[in-house]
Amino acid sequence: MEKGKITLNDIARIAGVTIGTVDRAMHNRSGISEKTRQKILDIAKEYDYKPDIIGRSLSMKRKRLKIGVLLRREPTFFWDHAARGIRVAAKEMEAFGINPQIEYFHMTSGFTDEEYIAMYRSTLIQMNEDHKNAFILVPVNHPFLVEDVNFLNKKGIPVVTLNDDREDSQRIFHIGPDTYQSGRVAAQLTGGLLSGQGRVLLYTANYSSSGYFLRKKGFMDKMHESYPDIHITERNQKTVLEAFYGGDVDIRSFDCICNIDGATVSEGVALLKQKGDVDFIKYIGFEINSDVKEHLADGSIHAVISQDAFSQGYFALRMLCEYLVYAKQPKYDRMFVRCDIILKENMIINDRIVNPYFMGD
């Protein structure tokens, strides 16, 4: 008997029982004597039994895995990529009958916080009525979120948090950007580009997100450690217009703009172009979309750091499925996607580049 190639049927034959009994032993099901269970487990161990995933999958066909996914809506380029990552992973796992149902919720304008929470919660309840096997959620910042996650968990419905985390909840794991580290990467790029000298304008429209706060902190920490001679001016006005041209700002006195806030990058560059200042200042941003690609191509953006939403979605679904199908526990309960540095010359412009980004097409 070749090691590792043994099947449940083989074990049954060796143990002198039937396959049903073997199954009971392997899955710690009830209705089996301790003695037979031990005998069977010993045999399994001796012959290094590994369950055949595809036999199991075929048999599992009867109950397809329904996974509820609740994402944000804006910025759309970002969340579209996340949804795409989820669909690609689902397609890869289609052998296991994964069936993700993706819903979105808006966080932009026109509603009070309470109204958002209510909308979010009602969507969640509605999705759950369809008897989901698991959820992938982008959490909102409200105590109920923890309650609901814990409730689902108690009912045996695991929850994964995407992009934002609630460590105080019983989500089984989290996948998101390493925002602090991405700030450090931006600082190293900036410092290298300025040879450790000069003036930097650091801009964010939105510090309310803890992600942006952490990114700024990463940027500042790395600057203080490695480039103490660079002078940093923070601006966090609501619009790039105010930030770059409001008050008594002389934009040309800066050597570099670092735009912490991924959502306003292309807007910021467009403004510099319009004012005729774009050639006098280096621009470093976050995240990539088609506008940003154009700015990279024509040289008006030097670099962006991407912690791509696609990978977040892809790995969230994939690791969740491995958890559901193989009972494989992720190594950590908090994981991050890579910080990719994207310049004109290494941005991906065609699909001859093999890459998870394109595997689903």
Q: Is residue 106 a contact point for DNA (CB under 7 A)? A: no
Beta carbon nearer to DNA, 60 or 241:
60
Number of residues forming the site for DNA (CB under 7 A): 31
Cis ω for the linkage preceding 75 (within 30 of 0): yes
Residue 83 φ/ψ, nearest 5 degrees: -60, -40
Name residue 271's beta-bridge partners: none
- Tell me which of DNA, a second copy, none is bound by residue 340, counting a contact when its beta carbon lies within the kind-specific cut-off of 5 to 8 angstroms: a second copy
Per-residue exposure over 200-230, b if at least 16 CB sit within 10 Å of its own CB, e if not = bbbbbbeeebebbbbbbebbbebbeeebeeb
State the binding string over 319-338 for DNA (x if CB under 7 A, else -). Answer: --------------------
Cα–Cα distance between 132 and 157 in angstroms, integer? 7
Residue 305 neighbours by CB distance under 10 Å: 25
Q: Which of 37/338 has CB closer to a second copy? A: 338
Q: Which is nearer to a second copy, 75 or 356 (CB)?
A: 356
- Compare residues 187 and 214 and give the one whose CB is closer to a second copy: 187
- Using the rule CB under 7 A, which residue among 20, 143, 192, 228 binds DNA? 20
Binding mask 27-46 for DNA (x = CB under 7 A): x--xxxxxxx----------
CB under 5 to 8 A by kind: which of a second copy, DNA, none does 19 bind?
DNA
Contact pick of 14, 26, 251, 270 for DNA (by CB under 7 A): 26
Interface positions, 44-63, toward DNA (CB under 7 A): 50-52, 55-56, 58-63
Angle, helix 143-154 to helix 113-128, in steps of 10 degrees? 10
C-alpha dihedral (205, 253, 346, 186), degrees to nearest 10: -50
**96 close to 63: Cβ distance less than 8 angstroms:** no
Could you tell me the smallest distance in angstroms from the CB atom of residue 326 to a second copy? 11
Q: Which positions lie near a second copy, rule CB under 8 A?
A: 53-55, 57-58, 61, 94-96, 175, 178, 181, 184-185, 187-189, 192-193, 195, 222, 302, 305, 311, 315, 319, 331-332, 334-341, 343-346, 348, 351-356, 361
**Closest-CA residue to 90 (of 351, 339, 320):** 320
Q: How far is CA 133 from the centre of its chain?
A: 20
